[in-house]
Amino acid sequence: MEFLTGFACPLVGATGLAWFLENWWVVLQVAGGLGFVIFVHELGHFLVAKACGVKCEKFFLGFDIGGLKLASLKWGETEYGIGVLPLGGYVKMLGQDDNPAAAANEAQRARMSGDLPAEPVDGPHPSWDPRSYPAQSVPKRMAIISAGVIMNVIFAVLMAALAYGIGVREMTCALSSVRTGGAAWRAGLRTGDEIVAIGGRKDPIFNDLRHGVTVGSVARGIDFTVRRPGDGSERTVTLKPDTDLGAPTIGVTSPYSLTLPAKLSRGLTGAAGLATPALEGGDTIRAIDGTPVASYAELLARLLEKADAAVTLKVERAGKGAGGVAGPTTTLSIELPPQPRLTTGMVLTPLAIKAVQDDSPAAAAGIRPGERLVSVDGAPVGDPFTLDDRLRGRIGEAVAMTLADASGATRTIDVRPRAVTWRDDETAGIGSPLSIPSLGLAIPVDALVAAVDAGSAADKAGVKAGDRVVQATIVEPGEKPDPKAALEFSEREPNWPIIASLLQQLPTGTALVLKIESDGAAREVTVTPEAAADRFVADRGLVFEPVYTTVKAGSIAGALRRGFQKAGEDLSMVYGFLGKLTRQQISPRLLGGPIEIAKQAGRSASEGFGRLLLFLTMLSANLAVVNFLPIPVLDGGHMVFLAYELVRGKPPSEGVVGVLSYLGLGLILFLMFFVFGLDLGLIPRR
């Protein structure tokens, strides 16, 4: 009995029939692929069982609970079918039942079979029907039980080999941004940097980075060789993954190209949505105000230089010929206005410094994590969200900063801000701090209101100094507040930087519903952020496709070599995930059930058949590892019992097997309910 459970690592949603008709081919690929992985596993059990002479009474994909099935066919002595519950599959052999409540009856049925020979049967269990599973020798039963896992591994190799034979689009290992305060940020990595080696692996793709971080040592760290195209420098850094987001991560985002996504599902927001003439999906930006740009890092640097002014984009646009055939490419000049930053007017409270970036002005001045910024040039810090803008007007100048440690002792030092041409990602996770890139500081922001700007949106809504925001819900125009989407705030969850960043990416008129506590009383206010006069959003709402490279084997041998390598990596990743799960370095809330698996399979299928094959490779490896865990009712549990029998010369007692089987079944059912709760949103993933 195999259950389909995976690691998050509805195919038909609210759009219903229209969505299905548009994506029917993706749906069929996903359904066929998931079914095939389960089929392969059960086929392994079935073929080896038949080779050992065991009578196989059923071969089912899905479970026919209560005899309910979608289809079945009796061919020879075996019934082949599809059950109504699509959570796995099973092969029913005579004398074997994974349901502990039915195991005793099944054993009795095998003993009382009319097929018993007149003469005694050679083997360890002469009272059994010779074609029953228990009548087979221990090595044969081990072969039958392990065959499913072995088949999954074999087909993982073959599916990966086929994928690389076809060719797979993979993201390169350049960085579009780094998470503020994360491992990569602390080491000084930035937009445009390229990871050219991970450990001993040269020229990695982005999936190699994910694999390396998942299986690598959190304590020892992982070696990354990083090239900076801007100056041609190359260095090796050892990054110790963070685990505060529930899984090991170094805090980097995948590379961006200069091409807008072909399908803009929400349309462009911010200044990008106001460009004239309008930008379209598939447009590629080639220059800004006549200066060519060849990478996302160069584009972002030009936009940062001119954040407060309109710019002219040189854009290449593919033509659309008859019948969907691409026409000639045209070049357009598109005016892109500046995008004022939306603010509430609340001056919030900076907390103790979370991290200091290597080789930054703050590090050179000796600023330490845990210190609190008290004043700047003798004046209060003010709004932490405007601090970086204020400092950028003083590049290279000495700025006197007063800091206090945990005991309250203060010291004043001079810091010289630097010019910044890159982007730090403030929205990578719950509790992400505010980036002050001109200094190299990551500062969490508490939602305690220190002051309110006169005439601001918060002032109009009645927010006062001393109020504490404990919850915020973003409400887009025409929508109603969703309590499930509310974000909590506290000193332990200083989440305001996420809200401040998200506001810049949402439609004009988006409001914040704030739950505020003051003097022991709670109230709710609605604040509609307003455009600041002197602060601007550098990227202006532009969104881009990732940078891809096509990985394709040049021969059958090369494809098989890559297939073995990919299957091995996926197996080691699952083992690494489980190991870190047991050591509490990964949150169990990252698990995924059938719904999440189907969603991820759908995303993979939409990226091409090769990508779907690689997802199925991962799922096949996942199924092999999970089903070989030493849990009764799973293949691994059966192998433990068989190993005991091989050593002791007799099977464990039926009472012990029964109790352990009930415990194993209870654990599996708990896991299934847990992952379904995660999939359906009944259990939060954080």
- Residue 267 has a pLDDT of 78
- Residue 67 has a pLDDT of 80
CA-to-CA distance for 440 and 90, rounded, in angstroms? 56
In this prediction the pTM is 0.78
- Residue 124 has a pLDDT of 45
DSSP 612-666: HHHHHHHHHHHHHHHHTSS-TTSHHHHHHHHHHHHHHSSPPPHHHHHHHHHHHHH
- Residue 685 has a pLDDT of 62
Where would I find the beta strands (DSSP E) of 352-461? 355-356, 372-376, 379-380, 399-404, 410-415, 424-425, 434-436, 441-443, 445-452
- Residue 119 has a pLDDT of 41
- Residue 331 has a pLDDT of 94
Mean pLDDT, 10 residues at a time, the chain of 686 residues: 40 39 61 81 92 91 83 90 83 79 69 48 58 88 92 92 91 89 92 90 86 78 90 90 80 91 81 93 94 94 92 91 72 95 93 94 95 93 91 91 93 94 71 90 92 94 93 89 84 85 86 90 92 90 91 91 91 82 75 72 75 86 87 87 89 83 84 78 68
- Residue 104 has a pLDDT of 67
CA-to-CA distance for 69 and 435, rounded, in angstroms? 56
- Residue 13 has a pLDDT of 32
The one-letter code for the residue type at 380 is P
- Residue 62 has a pLDDT of 83
Cβ-count burial 326-338 (b if 16+ within 10 Å, e if not): eeeeeeeebebeb
Q: Which domains does the chain have, with CATH numbers?
A: 136-167+552-679 (no CATH), 343-534 (2.30.42.10)
- Residue 434 has a pLDDT of 92
- Residue 9 has a pLDDT of 36
**CA-atom Rg of the chain in angstroms:** 30
- Residue 235 has a pLDDT of 92
CA atoms within 13 A on the CB side of 343: 23
- Residue 323 has a pLDDT of 60
